[in-house]
Structure 1
Amino acid sequence: MSNPTNAFILDGPDSASITIIPERSMHAVGATVTFTCSVVANHELDFHWYHDNSTVQGDGQQLIIPGLLLSHTGNYTCSASSGTTNKKGLATTSIVVIGRSRLMRSPLPFPRSTCAVLALSPE
């Protein structure tokens, strides 16, 4: 009689995807955006985040950016890799950060129908 053997096959990462919260492609300056990387795998993975091919600091499967700036516009890539299977899963998404116009209309200090005349007199 032989003893049963259990085999656990490590696989993945496969089918990487990125979810953005709030779920839209345009975000206002000053807002917070959260990226979450979802990957199919049956073991632990190492996650790395990139903004336009430059490394950015994420927290595992999440990348949170508070206080968005116009410079945060671009492509974000999540890389999930396995040292066990030597496989890598990649997903890329992009956002656009929009700002308020610098030319803001300020209210007039007096009604439009009022006329102000400024006269200078010699002293």
Structure 2
Amino acid sequence: MIWEQVSMNGKETPKGSFLKFTAHILLKHIKQTNITHQYYVNAANKQYEIWQRDALGIELYSRYFATQKLNYIHLNPVRGKWNLSASYLDYDFSSARFYEYGVDRFGFLHHLFDVL
């Protein structure tokens, strides 16, 4: 995912808020599908771990580097061990169709190089 950090969310970073919020939503869904055992951890401060600890964030310091990362995000699900779709344009959870055809199925996408 590529996003811009505009400001803090209270005392939390936007990344921290995003990870916490999405973990709660995903855990709610996971509990409904009875696959919680895949996310169970035996830790003193939590029962489940949704996101990898210390999820990596990379600053995009140039247009070239940002384009390289966007291409990686679009192509990764259809390569190698993942093979989640025949075409990167057909992968349901991708913004590739937005960049290729202008189709925003999610309702919140903005072009990486558009100034808001």
State TM-score, norm by structure 1.
0.21
Structure of higher CA gyration radius: 1
Determine which structure has greater relative contact order: mean sequence separation of CA pairs < 8 Å that are 6+ residues apart, divided by chain length.
1
State TM-score, norm by structure 2.
0.21
Bigger fraction of residues in helix: 2
